Amino acid sequence: MTAIQPPLSMLLELTHRCPLQCPYCSNPLELARADHELPTETWCDVITQGAEMGMLQVHFSGGEPAARTDLEDLLAHTKAKGLYTNLITSGVGLKPARLARLVALGLDHVQLSLQDAYMKEADRIAGLKGAFATKQAFAAEIIEAGLALTINLVVHRHNITRVGAMIELADAMGAQRVEVAHTQYYGWGLANRAALMPTREEVETALGVVETVRAHYRGRMRIDHVIPDYYADRPKACMGGWAQRFLVIDPSGDVLPCHAAKSLPGLTFDNVREKRLSDIWTGGAAFEAYRGTQWMPMPCRDCDRREIDWGGCRCQAFALTGDAAAVDPACGLSPRHATVRDLATSEAAAPPPPFRYRRMTR
């Protein structure tokens, strides 16, 4: 049996609080309240443990990580441990003086979400008037500060025809990298699937546009494109494989193999308040459940892609089949593949229902 390698990085969901309400958010429907969040010293201890395990990167995420008033303390601690830092932010609510403090502390990289190329549409998706303009100003501050900027574009039926315009806008904002990610249907995204699902024709056109635009920007701006699962023939290696490279810690301190793992029934999650991170990574029940290839059903078990895509996405398999150990229906070899394509086709053909906006209800 191969020894378990330490993860490359961890994603810290510092909080579920967020000024935006994007209907495709991957946070769970049951959002963690502020009084359930880990305190500063526990986050710092977790970061120390991550460095001791040999991790290289820490991603500060949420919700909106800047909603935590101790973000500066956490960043300073992470830099003191020699780790690369990435801030995944909405750009809303992070004032210039605060960004300057984060830059002075050594922040390495910022990932900023962009909802659309058009202000009105972008603000409608974000559920916040003025969000688009605030993001433009924030991007300018990032570039002015000399930080590396990635723009995250989440694509769905309401903006897919403007994917080229969104990439052009990201270039105008000064991004070195763009991540074009078609909506993944977990959490709020799953609750809004019918409202977000594009048609197959729209997806194919968008794939062509991204290829053309990528050639245009080669050498100047990198464009990464995550192909949408519902119209794919083979699944992606979700999280680089379950318990292979990444871990996620949610606001309450539960350690997860992926951001949507709590949607899977029957898994138990260890908490950093009670167990050391290295023990959770190497022996935690949730990590062991789908690590490697032993758990795989046929045809994954005999497939030559089993250590490439690691069987796809467990959360998607559960959402679509009710069985987390099933072959990911995004795979053309899954017996449910055609059903999933039909479902996507019929949802995309129907008029979009109203958004169910992400909201803290308690």
* Burial 279-295, CB ≥16 within 10 A → b, else e: ebbbebebbbbbbbeeb
Among 33, 177, 222, 306, binds ligand SF4 (CB under 6 A): 306
Among 7, 62, 189, 311, binds ligand SF4 (CB under 6 A): 311
Region of 95-103, 162-170, 214-222, 237-245 interacting with ligand FES (CB under 6 A): 237-245
How far is Cα 313 from Cα 238, in angstroms, rounded to an integer?
A: 5
Three-class SS of residue 57? strand
290-349 positions binding ligand FES, by CB under 6 A:
313-316
Cβ–Cβ < 8 Å for 224, 178? yes
Q: Does 300 bind ligand SF4 (CB under 6 A)?
A: yes
Give strand ranges (E) for 21-166. Answer: 57-61, 84-89, 109-114, 148-155
How far is Cα 172 from Cα 167, in angstroms, rounded to an integer?
A: 9
The interface partner of residue 132, options being ligand SF4, ligand FES, none and the CB cut-off 5 to 8 Å by kind, is none
Nearer to ligand SF4, 256 or 300 (CB): 300
Considering the complex, what minimum distance in angstroms separates the CB of residue 239 from ligand SF4?
14
Q: Does 63 bind ligand SF4 (CB under 6 A)?
A: no
Nearer to ligand FES, 314 or 337 (CB): 314
Tell the burial category of 206 from Cβ atoms under 10 Å away from its Cβ (0-12, 13-18, 19+).
buried
Q: Does 328 bind ligand SF4 (CB under 6 A)?
A: yes
Tell the burial category of 216 from Cβ atoms under 10 Å away from its Cβ (0-12, 13-18, 19+).
middle
Q: Does 305 bind ligand SF4 (CB under 6 A)?
A: yes
Cβ–Cβ < 8 Å for 326, 166? no
Per-position x/- string for 185-224, each x denoting binding to ligand FES as judged by CB under 6 A, each - no binding? -x--------------------------------------
Residue entry with tokens 């099933």: 326
Residues that bind ligand FES (CB under 6 A): 186, 238-239, 242, 258, 260-261, 313-316
Residues that bind ligand SF4 (CB under 6 A): 234-235, 299-300, 303, 305-306, 309, 311-312, 327-328, 331, 333
